[in-house]
Amino acid sequence: MLGLRPKDFDIATDARPGRLKRLFSNCRIIGRRFRLAHIHFGEKIIEVATFRSSGKSDDVVREGDLIHRDNVFGSPGEDAMRRDLTINGLFYDISTFSIIDYVNGFDDLLNGVVRTIVDPEVSFREDPVRMLRVIRHATRLDFEIEAETRRALTTQQDEILKANAARLLEEFYKDLSSGRSRAFFDELHRTGFLSLLVEPLVTTFKQRGERAGKALFFESLERLDRLSEEGIEITHPLGLAALLSPLILPVTRKLAGRGDEAEPEPFQKALSPVFTRLKIYRRDEERLWHILGAWGRIERAFDRGTIPKSLSKRHYFPEAAEVFALLSPESPELDDFLSEVRGLPPPSEEAPPPKGRGRKRGGRGGRGRGRAGEGGGRDGGGRKGPGPREEGGGPRAESPDGGGSRAASKKHDGVGGGSPERSGSGPSAAKRRRKRRHTGPSSGSTSPGSPPS
């Protein structure tokens, strides 16, 4: 309707998840807050949701207004009312090629207005991530935020701290790769959300002087957007490098001219407060340490105008060169260097698997195929993979829960790593098993030979 290419499509049906599972042998049911069907076609996943009801049922689990679980099914009209924004509540009927509008989203789309379907304060308390989506749609489409919705962004701002950390991280990754990251993070900063979510970054603005600190930050995001427009894949480490450029560049300047592999410790010290705050995935963190550690060697290769084979074969080299070019002063020589890098064959060295499993600091489970522990939409090497569950995952306007609580229980059940005592292995577990085998019934529980109660 706006003359733009759709990024993806949401599919909704009146078929229950169990019915979809019976219809499609390549179907998996995921999610806790709201069950979804993932139908697999090779590497492609078609996400199918069942229409939701108004949610006034015992099946809806709330903590105050915040919805934790929601598996109440209903009609298309009820489903539309459960979505976040009017422009996200439009249906397209593929049998009649018509638009069905239950929420007056058609007019808002044509008039360039972003507004919530229900009272914005209630909507944001139910799902705080909706506040970021309001800002995203307004900045990506150059739409106006409706007055009442904008007021609620201020009055309900602190609710964003209640959002699932995995979902927040994925929202950031989406916007870093959108081609409109500069506008999005500028609005986040203006409205105060950036200070709440990435406080160490905003602190550096103040330390350097607001104007100088922000100039470096937004310049990096503008260059990232240009890469996206050129069709360059914005991997997670590349996006993080742009987002955290005010924290990274002071370290690279201290290492300038050394020309060797840098140890990751200076970068870890500078970035660990943000990584802790955002709950960065371990695989992305380790990938970024490889990339930043190669800064000195890539700087020397650029200065000499030659790329040694010992460097070009390293698994992290293409991304490290992109990060180096992103954060270095622009010049024709840098453009030539980057063109040469992009023309080289892929590295022969394979990336090592992440150390440990899952997140470095708590959070969700491992890298296996469990529902709560699958990784990001693209790993550090830019390879496509199943997306982490944004409380259920996928591109829906409202995502069902599939995150932390279940992963925590998996960790204690021995699925997500942890100590031998927790995982049911090791000496302590063996002693407990022997004790259970050799300990007879306690006195008074059951008489010898009688069945247990």
Q: Which residues are catalytic?
A: 8, 10, 84
Q: Strand 44-50 and strand 11-13: pairing? A: parallel
CB 130 within 8 A of CB 83: no
Cβ pair 322, 227 in contact under 8 A: yes
Q: What is the CA radius of gyration of the chain?
A: 25
- Comparing CA positions, the residue from 188, 117, 132 lying closest to residue 162 is 132
Give strand pairing partners of 116. 85
Tell me the two tokens of residue 370: 């469990």
Which uninterrupted H or E stretch holds 146?
none
Alpha carbons 178 and 143: distance in angstroms, whole number: 16
Q: Is 215 exposed, middle or buried (0-12, 13-18, 19+ CB in 10 A)?
A: middle
* Closest to 77 measured CA to CA, from 94, 91, 93, 58: 91
Asked if 381 contacts 17 with a C-beta cutoff of 8 angstroms, the reply is no
Contact residues for 412 (Cβ-Cβ < 8 A; gap 6+): 418, 422
Q: Residue 163, SS3?
A: coil
Whether 399 and 10 have beta carbons less than 8 Å apart is answered as: no
The type of residue at 342 is R
3-class DSSP state of 449: coil
The token pair at 306 is 């030659």
Strands (E), 15-112: 27-30, 36-41, 44-50, 61-63, 66-69, 90-93, 98-101
Cα–Cα nearest to 47, from 68, 72, 20: 20
Closest CA to 121 of 151, 147, 83, 144: 151
Query: Where does residue 390 rank: exposed (0-12), middle (13-18), buried (19+ CB within 10 A)?
Result: buried
Measured between alpha carbons, how far is 46 from 139 in angstroms, rounded to an integer? 27
Instruction: For residue 125, give both structure tokens.
Output: 């308390």
What is the identity of the amino acid at 143?
F
Q: Name the token pair of 326.
A: 């992103």
Structural tokens at position 397: 């306007």
